[in-house]
Amino acid sequence: MLRAMLTFIQVLLSGLAIGCVYGLVALSFVLVYKAADTVSFMQGELLMVGAFAVVVLQAAGWPLAAALTGGVAGAALLGAVLERTALRYTLGHSHLSAVLLTFGLGLMLRGGVTAVPAASHGMFVLPLPWADEVFRLGPLSLPGGQLLVMAITALVAAALSLFFRYSRSGLALRACAEDARSAALMGVPVARMHTLAWALGAALAALAGVLLAPITFVHLNMGFIALKAFPAAVLGGLTSLPGALAGGVFLGVVEALAGLVLPEGSKDVVPYLLLLAALLLFPAGFGARRTA
Amino acid sequence: MSAARALFLACLLLGSLLSATQAVAQVAAPGVSDREIVVGSILDLSGPAALLGAPVRDGMLLRFEDANAAGGVHGRKLRLVVEDAGYDPKRGVLAARKLLQRDQVFAFLANLGTPVVMATMPAIVDAGRLHLFPFSPHESTYSPLHPLKFQMFPPYQDYMEAATRHMVKSRGYSRACLLYQDDDYGLEVMKGVESGLAKLGQRLVERTAYKRGATDFSSQIARLRSARCDLVVLATVVRETVAAMTEARRNGWAVDMLVSASGYSSQTHELGGAAVEGLFGVSVLPLPYADGAPPRLAAWIGRYHKRFGADPNVWSVMGYVLADLFVRGAEQAGPELTTARFTAAMERLHTDGDFLGSPGYRFSPQDHLGSRQGRLAQIRNGRWVMLTDYLE
């Protein structure tokens, strides 16, 4: 009995950790969607590029903290540059053109990384502090990597909520998301806010990439996790930041527990079944009431 | 009006003349001229298997460049035309068409990925071109016997059966379990493990699957642990191998694990570190370790690094060895290279191991699969060490 309980908690923890990563990527989806009214299909690639940037900076001799900051800031800069040079010109056109543009930019990012021989030959470890350690709590083993992911996700969520509630840019961004025209009339620099939203979205994706590194390592295909994060964002209603985070954690936990409790093979089906059920029962997502 | 019609007729005539001469040239040998032999390859350089595709391409390039530097094959230079299909059968079909029609390749070498191979092989064989050594475990790549199809990679099923039998017999396991990727690859390994166990009167105690690209293995490991397995066979690739073993060790479960050749990579111990110490694996071609390499191997590693800016891995070795088999076949076929002569030469080809540690490949008119064997290895002190010779 105790054994079963322990196994349950252990699997639950794994689910929570991976759910946090889903949640962070889902946050980046929602952030872009709210501000720019576009579903970005390059978040997975931004995640991969961000993680690779940290690996490269560290290999170049930067200390870990500087490499992390540099990588995430670099991703933010990349997001901003892509907005200023390409995505901005889709404003006023059909939704599809922006969506397809993100898809194409994603392919270009991926192609760019593939062109580097070392990146196309292997996977890389990002030595985050505590990631390889295992803390013992009685008979329970708490992997440092998982604790780290949860802690950083909580910190990021708190920082984002402060940013959107109290900072001038955060408030302006929210105003743009509510109604860009009125915001412009009130003197909010809407174009600049768009740039900020894409930069933030890219930075969040890169951060998720860094946190994913201890779990899956840094490699070309790590961005595929966005395929799971997108349902999480939809589960949260696609417009609610807390909803996206909750959706991600929920998906991670359900997936892990389904693999343990339900018959073989259901692990990969259950999240999507739940997604279907949630869309039928709550068409606007769990977080809808907050923003509606 | 009549002028236009005359022009049209002239074009038609010219077209049929051109295609007739082309047909004659094709009978002689497509892709073979006095100066060169053109060889095509459909790889994955951007998709999910790009980590394999790039080193395979580089390995082949290196062997061809070596051959060209030595004067070519009977005076003809080898030219490799690589198309990227990104593991997508639709793009594979387009790539095959391009290589067949525009590049007029003599042979297809090392096409990568079962979905791509299944989609492109019929068209390639119908066009009368050789289909050599694809990265696909599928039986149809060498059986039923076909003059244009040759394979050198042992099928998962054959070598996993031998490896499982050897492991269970020599180490006395009684509760073997399986963690497998939920696709053709996993199922082939499962068949091999099951038939190996059946020969010893055992059955799989528990089996559990994951989807390609899965990140979290906690529930699978928990399931296997509660079945009290004493050997876990892994039908995983590198990342999943490390993740599964790390998950088990982290929870204090010191079970023995055996991974198929897909997990036999230097990346497994580079990424897994202490967690993957003691992991057993099957190797169909050895890894090129620079540290402690004999002079010839060390020189090869150095040349590869200098040429491509990355260290060779086991996929580079595979690319080099399969390109080497092609070169040997083409050399034996003689100066008048045709498809039929190449097939006849391949059917006589017997190789002995080379400096890269390959097994001997034996082809015959009755058997176009060059090898069925793998050898057992184990990670000790952070590198793979061979435990046995190639297992029968």
The distance of B120 to chain A (nearest Cα, Å) reads 24
| 3-state SS assignment for residue B135 | strand
Beta-strand runs (E) in A57-122:
none
A136 in a structural domain:
no
> What's B168's domain CATH number?
3.40.50.2300
Q: Are residues B237 and B351 in the same domain?
A: no
Quote the pLDDT of residue B25. Answer: 42
The predicted-structure confidence for A12-32, as pLDDT tens digits, reads as follows 998 999 999 999 999 999 999
Instruction: Please indicate whether, in this complex, the C-beta atoms of A221 and B211 are within 8 angstroms of each other.
Output: no
Cβ distance of A264 and B252 shorter than 8 Å: no
User: Does the residue A21 lie in any domain?
Assistant: yes
The fraction of chain A above a pLDDT of 70, given in percent, is 97
- Residue A119's nearest CA partner among B310, B75, B367 is B310
Which chain B residue is nearest to residue A145, measuring alpha carbons? B250
- Size of the A and B interface in Cβ pairs below 8 Å: 108
Query: Which residues of chain B lie closer than 8 angstroms to A11, CB-CB?
Result: 218-219, 222
Instruction: Decide if A184 is inside a domain.
Output: yes
Assess whether B335 and B381 both reside in one domain. Answer: no
Same domain? B252 vs B380? yes
- Asked if the structure places residue A62 within a domain, the reply is yes
Helix (DSSP H) and strand (DSSP E) numbers for chain B: 12, 12
The per-residue pLDDT for range A40-72, each reduced to its tens digit, is 999 999 999 999 999 999 999 999 999 999 999
Mean pLDDT of successive 10-residue stretches along chain B, which has 392 residues: 55 50 54 94 86 92 97 96 92 96 96 92 96 90 94 92 95 95 89 96 94 84 93 92 92 93 90 92 92 94 94 94 96 94 96 90 94 93 93 82
Q: What is the mean pLDDT of residues A208-212?
A: 93
What band does A285 get if pLDDT is binned at 50, 70 and 90?
A: low
Which residues in chain A have Cβ-Cβ distances shorter than 8 Å to B204?
none
Interface touch B218/A125, C-beta < 8 Å: no
Are B134 and B231 in the same domain? no
Note whether residue B141 is domain-resident. yes
Chain B residue numbers with beta carbons less than 8 Å from the beta carbon of A114 are 45-46, 50, 54
Q: How far apart are CA B179 and CA B138, in angstroms?
A: 21
Residue A289 has pLDDT above 60, yes or no: no
Distance from CA of A177 to the nearest CA of B (A): 33
Residue with tokens 């490699």: A219
- Chain A residues with CB under 8 Å of a chain B CB are 3-4, 7, 10-11, 13-15, 18, 110-111, 114, 117-118, 120-123, 125, 132, 134, 141, 143, 212, 215-217, 219-221, 224-225, 252, 255-260, 264-265, 267-268
Q: Is residue B67 situated within a structural domain?
A: yes
As a whole number of angstroms, the distance between CA A99 and CA B207 comes to 41
d(CA B199, CA A239) in angstroms, rounded, equals 59
Q: Which residue of B has its CA nearest to A265?
A: B209
The rounded distance, in Å, linking the Cα atoms of A64 and B170 is: 46
> What is the predicted pLDDT for the residue at A290?
45
φ/ψ of residue B143, rounded to 5: -145, 135
Say what the pLDDT of residue B3 is: 55
- Indicate whether B147 and B161 sit together in one domain: no
User: Minimal Cα–Cα distance from B47 to chain A, Å?
Assistant: 8
Cβ neighbours of B310 in A, within 8 Å: 117-118, 121-122
List C-alpha distances in Å: A8 to A269, A272, B5, B119, B232.
20, 22, 81, 44, 21
Q: Are residues B222 and B167 in the same domain?
A: yes
Residue B368 belongs to some domain of the structure? no
Q: Which residues form the domain of B213?
A: 156-283+376-386
Report d(CA A33, CA A190) in Å as an integer: 15
Q: What is the pLDDT of residue B24?
A: 40
Tell me the shortest Cα–Cα distance from A208 to chain B, in angstroms. 14
Chain A partners within 8 Å of B58 (Cβ): 117
Q: How far does A7 lie from chain B, in Å, by closest CA?
A: 6
Check whether residue B55 and residue B78 sit in a common domain: yes
Beta bridge partners of A202: none
Proportion of chain A in helix, strand, coil states, percent, rounded to 5: 75, 5, 20
* Nearest by Cα to A103 from A57, A7, A39: A39
B132 and B36 in a common domain: yes
**Phi/psi at A97 (5° precision):** -65, -40
Who contacts B167 (Cβ-Cβ below 8 Å, separation ≥6)?
B173, B231, B258, B280, B376
Interface TM-score (ipTM) > 0.90: no
**Residue B297: Cβ-neighbour burial (10 angstroms; 0-12, 13-18, 19+):** buried
Q: Do B182 and A264 touch (CB under 8 A)?
A: no
Inside any domain, residue B2: no
- Interval A94-117: pLDDT, tens: 888 889 999 999 999 998 988 887
Is the Cβ pair A141, B219 closer than 8 Å? no
Alpha helix segments (H runs only) across chain B: 2-28, 50-69, 89-101, 114-126, 156-171, 184-199, 218-226, 238-250, 266-272, 295-308, 314-332, 339-348
Give the closest residue to B330 by CA, choosing from B27, B42, B68. B68
User: How far A40 CA sits from the closest chain B CA (Å)?
Assistant: 20
Q: Are B52 and B317 in contact (CB under 8 A)?
A: no
- Residues B246 and B119 placed together within one structural domain of the fold: no
My answer on whether B163 and B243 are in the same domain is yes
Count of structural domains, chain B:
2
In a domain, A133, yes or no: no
Contact A18 B220 (CB under 8 A): no
Crossing angle of helices B50-69 and B295-308, rounded to 10°: 110
Question: Alpha helix (H) ranges present in B127-263?
Answer: 156-171, 184-199, 218-226, 238-250
CATH number at residue A237: 1.10.3470
Whether A143 and B225 lie within 8 Å, measured CB to CB: no
**How many structural domains are present in chain A?**
1
Report the helix count and the strand count for chain A, using DSSP H and E. 13, 2
Asked, for residue A258, whether it belongs to a domain, the answer is yes
Q: Which pLDDT score, from 0 to 100, does residue B1 have?
A: 43
Q: B53: which chain A residues are within 8 Å (Cβ-Cβ)?
A: 120
Closest residue in A to B307 (Cα–Cα): A117
Which residues of chain B neighbour A134 with C-beta distances below 8 Å? 250
**B101 and B73 together in one domain:** yes
Q: Which pLDDT does position A287 carry in this prediction? A: 54
Q: How far apart are CA A122 and CA B313, in angstroms?
A: 9
Chosen for mutation from A3, A6, A120 (greatest number of chain B CBs closer than 10 Å) is: A120
Asked whether residue B392 is domain-assigned, the answer is no
Identify the sign of the CA torsion B187, B188, B189, B190: positive
Q: What is the dihedral of CA A39, B84, A49, A154, to 10 degrees?
A: 60
What range does the domain containing A122 cover? 2-128+142-291
pTM for this predicted structure: 0.79
Q: B242 with A124: CB under 8 angstroms?
A: no
pLDDT at B216: 83
Shared domain check, B316 and B218? no
- For residues A258 and A139, give the distance between their C-alpha atoms in angstroms, rounded to a whole number: 23
CA distance B20 to chain A (A): 41
